[in-house]
Structure 1
Amino acid sequence: MKYNAFLAIIFILCTAAFCDGPPSLSPQPTISYNNITYYDTGFTKNLSLVLNFEDGDGDLGLSPVDVGVPYQPYDLVFENGEPVMYGDRPGDPDFNCVDYEIVPEGNEVDTFLVNRNKYHNNIYIDFFVKRNGVWEEYDLRTTDPFLCADTYDGRFPILNLDENDKALKGELRYNMYSAAIFSVFRNDTVKVQAQIVDRQLHESNIIETPEFTFQQITVTEVPDENDGQ
């Protein structure tokens, strides 16, 4: 079983202004930073990242059934026609949450060597912490190799529900609900990098937030979903 140590992404709210847009918009999505806020109402604790986006053909978003190629979560590693399990071969990596997947089999579990597929998700989030003046990436998966926490990478749903291609421009609000994230970065100076990818696997540019502390971006009231969109 994979434990979500920091309750990674459990909800996404996407809002978009749909438009016909100029024909010169590239089919490769582009994004820019809009805002980041930490909402702490006592009941809701939510780090909310807002991105501006443009996409020339509007093929943004994944549905829950998009789990086959090319959106599968991982590929098993095979040798001689059999999937490789943890401990099968000398020289394979020690157990960690990136190279291995724990799969329930009845009342037992098996641990398989896998190749992760980044395109199972369509938004990628990386945290960086400034320590002694140097930025260090904070990766939940490698913090404790036996905890198997998820990253904050995730999925947003399909934005263009029409069958025809059309340009999209708007704002995407990506909510990361977590009761522990404030504790993890309580007094740290942090910045976030983000990137999105469309259904044809065109990757956007990578944006970076300004550096911040959670005290600086915390508010105690959550706005209506349409506020600021």
Structure 2
Amino acid sequence: MNIARRLAIYAVLVVILSSCFDPPEYSVIPQIEFNDIAFVDVGDFSAQDSLILWIDFKDGDGDLGLSPNDPRHISEPYHDSDYFLEDGSGGLIPIPKEVRYTDIPPMLKLTGQQGKLASIRTRKKPLYSYLPGWRGENCPASFVRNGVPDTIHYSYQKIYISEEDGHIIDNTYQIIDTLTAQDFPDIYIVEDTVLVKPNPLHNNIRVDWLVQGNDGNFHLFDWSEVSCTPIFNARFPVLEDETRAIEGTLQYTMKTFGLVPLFSIKTLKLRITIWDRALHKSNVVETPPFTLNDIRRGG
């Protein structure tokens, strides 16, 4: 089953100003509390249902939220994925991305690392035979190396590489274009199926789904069994431009097809974490146990 989804996050924000009273002293580590949850079933198979989650938050310096239009928020450490270089001994060196020019998509960010860009051809090399085969575009593929389990994804895409880092490719990679500008290194646009791994710090809210089993315990639901995308991890926008205490409520709307047939009368819980731009992780909160029918509200 492939579950299409659309996510939307809104915030009701209170900025704590210092005027005639002393503002509360909140920790710079975000604090969250569960507020409410609702399931809106539209009753139409052609439309998406909504699971809506409300989370209260407090933060001492207001550095919550990420903007897709801010180059700093799509560069390391908030880049979307890591790429990899072959280290020559069977290992993989993670490589992030950064925005180097405002009119060019993020580029690979190397700081002296050596090796070839890991691609779908890498697993054909003897030292890399442990790598898994193709499972589908951007689908997680599991492997074990030196007793340590891990996952990677294969993704066919365009990669922007500075001429200064041209040693990571050779004539087996397809260069579809070269961007040139006076006084700047050339930029190679490579189109290939490469190894990537989503960067968990690209998002700033994580929502795990837990399903109650026959043993009465709650178990983490593996969304990779029904979708190749980590469905319900996302970003909420910048909430405050200045450094000061804030509190408020996040409304996180998860619109999907297929929740009713997938979970039916099963008992669920959601587990939520957020983090700020300094990468301080909040406390972890869980919703009370619920079924979709328990929290159903009018569509």
TM-score band by shorter chain is 0.7 to 0.9
Higher RCO structure (Cα 8 Å, ≥6 apart): 1
Q: What is the CA–CA distance in structure 2 between the aligned matches of 1:192 and 1:172, rounded to whole Å?
A: 15
The one-letter code matched in structure 2 to 1:213 is T
Q: CA deviation at 1:94?
A: 4.4
Q: Normalising by the residue count of structure 2, what TM-score does the alignment of the two structures yield?
A: 0.65
Matched, 1:128 2:210: yes
What does 1:10-49 correspond to in 2, within 5 Å? 10-20=7-17, 22=23, 24-42=25-43, 43=47, 45-49=49-53
Q: What is the CA–CA distance in structure 1 between the aligned matches of 2:85 and 2:247, rounded to whole Å?
A: 43
Q: Normalising by the residue count of structure 1, what TM-score does the alignment of the two structures yield?
A: 0.84
Q: Match of 2:261, SS?
A: helix
Q: CA deviation at 1:13?
A: 2.1
More displaced stretch, 10-19 vs 189-198: 10-19
Q: CA deviation at 1:149?
A: 3.2
Match in the other structure for 1:78: 85
Q: What is the CA–CA distance in structure 2 between the aligned matches of 1:83 and 1:23, rounded to whole Å?
A: 50
Q: CA deviation at 1:39?
A: 1.1
Rg larger in structure? 2
Q: What is the CA–CA distance in structure 1 between the aligned matches of 2:196 and 2:65, rounded to whole Å?
A: 25
Contact 2:155/2:196 (<8 A) preserved: no
Given candidates 86, 103, 119, the residue that maps to 2:156 is 103
Contact 2:211/2:220 (<8 A) preserved: yes
The one-letter code matched in structure 2 to 1:49 is L
Q: Match of 1:83, SS?
A: coil
Q: Deviation string for 1:30-61 (max 9, x for gaps)? A: 10111110012345511001001000000111
Q: In proportion to residue count, which structure has more strand?
A: 2
What does 1:110-189 correspond to in 2, within 5 Å? 110-132=192-214, 133-141=216-224, 143=225, 147-160=227-240, 162=241, 164-189=242-267
Q: CA deviation at 1:5?
A: 2.7
Contact 2:205/2:275 (<8 A) preserved: yes
* Alignment CA distance shift 1:157-1:200 (3 Å): same
* Alignment CA distance shift 1:17-1:24 (3 Å): closer
Matched, 1:213 2:213: no
The one-letter code matched in structure 1 to 2:269 is K
* Alignment CA distance shift 1:94-1:22 (3 Å): farther
Contact 2:155/2:195 (<8 A) preserved: no
Supply the RMSD in Å over aligned alpha carbons: 2.3
The one-letter code matched in structure 1 to 2:68 is P
Contact 2:32/2:58 (<8 A) preserved: yes
Q: CA deviation at 1:19?
A: 2.1
Contact 1:126/1:139 (<8 A) preserved: no
Q: Match of 1:216, SS?
A: coil
Q: What is the CA–CA distance in structure 2 between the aligned matches of 1:100 and 1:158, rounded to whole Å?
A: 29
More displaced stretch, 8-17 vs 177-186: 8-17
Q: CA deviation at 1:177?
A: 0.6
The one-letter code matched in structure 1 to 2:36 is N
Q: CA deviation at 1:110?
A: 3.8
Given candidates 92, 102, 109, the residue that maps to 2:131 is 92
Q: What is the CA–CA distance in structure 1 between the aligned matches of 2:294 and 2:280, rounded to whole Å?
A: 34
Q: CA deviation at 1:159?
A: 0.7
What number of residue pairs does the alignment pair up?
212
Q: What is the CA–CA distance in structure 1 between the aligned matches of 2:284 and 2:130, rounded to whole Å?
A: 35
Q: CA deviation at 1:167?
A: 0.6
